[in-house]
């Protein structure tokens, strides 16, 4: 998977490559899909949600430019696979998921890998804002669901020099954006690939 899908597509951050070699992806998918866990595609994880294609996971992670010291926020824990990579590559991870059974399963997977630097939060109440205000600012924020626009509540939680990676577009097709808060506090925007994520649900997203 790593050589054929990640390195061959120009992911060059050695730490991201090593983390992907280290974290077993099959434990994060349902048993019925375990044989497909290393294939070049997203897979269902139950509750009408998906674990993202390995290449997109690698690309988003690389764009966060983690060095090991960062405090990271993830919106959309899902299976916990992306969370496990973040926990391997950063100092502390805060991850929010709106579907309780997914969050509980992700917790078990993360514990089985002894990744204890992750705090999970279940955001299942109607109208709860995304983000994690009490723990802000974050050096890196990743949103793993498609948003209709860049949520200001998230750019407000970016530290100086921090990066937000988020798919933005319609509920079926998005552009992967990286927003950086520079040392003067200004936001800089960069757009990369087209992608297709399940929708971000809630106040800053789409209706359930
Ligand atoms: N990163 C995940 C992985 O590695 O398995 C994939 C995440 S999946 C594509 C998107 C997740 O975002 C879903 O589990 C969905 O329930 C969650 N989600 C959608 N809207 C959310 C919100 N407002 N807050 C938290 N999680 C949300």
In a domain, 204, yes or no: no
The rounded distance, in Å, linking the Cα atoms of 136 and 123 is 17
Q: Whose CA is nearest to atom 25 of ligand 1?
A: 97
Q: Tell me if 164 is assigned to some domain.
A: yes
Domain boundaries, position 10: 2-195
- The CATH number given to whatever domain includes residue 74 is 3.40.50.150
Atom of ligand 1 at shortest range from CA of 28: 5
Query: How many domains does the structure of the chain reveal?
Result: 1
| Over residues 134-148, mean pLDDT | 97
| Domain-located, residue 146 | yes
Question: Is 34 part of any domain?
Answer: yes
pLDDT reported for residue 126 = 75
Examine residue 201 and state whether it is found in any structural domain, yes or no: no
Residues marked active site are found at 52
In a domain, 158, yes or no: yes
Sign of CA dihedral 22, 135, 144, 154: negative
| pLDDT tens-digit readout, 89-127 | 999 999 999 999 999 999 999 999 999 999 999 987 777
Domain for residue 90, yes or no? yes
In a domain, 150, yes or no: yes
List Cβ<8 Å contacts ≥24 apart for 192-196. Answer: 192/59, 192/63, 193/56, 193/59, 195/56, 195/146, 195/167, 196/146, 196/172
Looking at ligand 1, which residue's alpha carbon is closest to its atom 14? 78
Q: What is the pLDDT of residues 18-53, one digit of tens each?
A: 999 999 999 999 999 999 999 999 999 999 999 999
């Amino acid at each position: 998977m790593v050589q054929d899908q990640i390195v061959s597509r120009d992911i060059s951050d050695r730490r991201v490559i090593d983390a992907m070699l280290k974290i077993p992806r099959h434990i994060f998918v349902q048993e019925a899909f375990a044989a497909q866990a290393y294939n070049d595609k997203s897979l269902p994880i139950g509750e009408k949600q998906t674990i993202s294609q390995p290449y997109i996971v690698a690309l988003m992670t690389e764009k966060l430019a983690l060095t090991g010291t960062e405090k990271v926020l993830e919106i959309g824990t899902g299976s916990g696979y992306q969370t496990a990579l973040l926990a391997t590559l950063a100092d502390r991870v805060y991850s929010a998921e709106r579907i309780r059974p997914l969050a509980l399963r992700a917790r078990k997977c993360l514990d089985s890998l002894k990744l204890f630097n992750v705090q999970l939060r279940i955001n299942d109440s109607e109208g709860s804002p995304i983000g994690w205000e009490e723990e802000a600012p974050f050096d890196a924020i990743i949103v793993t669901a498609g948003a209709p626009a860049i949520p200001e509540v998230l750019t407000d939680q970016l530290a100086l020099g921090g990066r937000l990676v988020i798919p933005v577009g319609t509920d079926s097709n998005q552009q992967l954006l990286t927003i950086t808060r520079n040392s003067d506090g200004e936001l800089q925007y960069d757009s990369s690939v087209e992608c297709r994520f399940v929708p971000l649900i809630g106040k800053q997203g789409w209706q359930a």
